Amino acid sequence: MTQEATPELKVLGGEVRIIVPGTWVSIPLESPEKATAFIKRLVRRQVGTADRLARMRRQAVDELLATAREAASIGVHTYLMSLEIAPGVPFPAAILMVDDEWPAAAGPLVAEGDYEGALRAAYPEGEVAVQRNGRPAARVVEMTQGQAGDGDDAVDVLTMRLEYHMPHPKDPSRMLLVRANASDIPSAEPFAILFDEIVDSVAFIDDAEESAAF
């Protein structure tokens, strides 16, 4: 599933909606067979079918399959991968979603329905904010700095991983973890804001239907 210009992606059989900028794909994780077939088609389309590109295709397929297998093994149900942020502008980023349990430290506050307080107790290193949908989320940021290029052409680049922990839209006694990864970015702030906006758009179909009723 490839989408253009700030599309609304529907994943998990249409259960989850998320608005993303540019061109993204949703890699199916229901079975190894579906993931393999999808990734092979995607790589052929993105890399090309020329014989001289065979090694590059194999390497890309192997890397993506390894990531998909690892994601499925830890319970990820939604795996979105960015192809372009704008036409002709690659954007190496991914968003993973997994259902999770509240940490024990948050248990009493969850039982009281104080989800914002529960997030602060569970993730003291994170930044807790209420989203547009009215649910709080705790954002935890991890940055790694490196260089791209050689010699005088080398430039500083960042790899950013963001984790958003929030009450699960379907069952707040559990959590939804949204993990966003972006590599080779020039600076953190604009991309952090971008992912904040993307995660803020996450909704389950029931949420959207309830909102439309008011």
Q: What is the pLDDT of residues 106-144, one digit of tens each?
A: 999 999 999 999 999 999 999 999 988 788 999 999 988
pTM of the predicted protein model: 0.82
Task: Give me the residues of the chain with pLDDT under 50, please.
Answer: 1-6, 208, 210-214
Q: Quick one: residue 134, left, alpha or beta (phi over 0 = left, psi -120 to 50 = alpha)?
A: left
How many other CB atoms are found less than 10 A from the CB of residue 13?
8
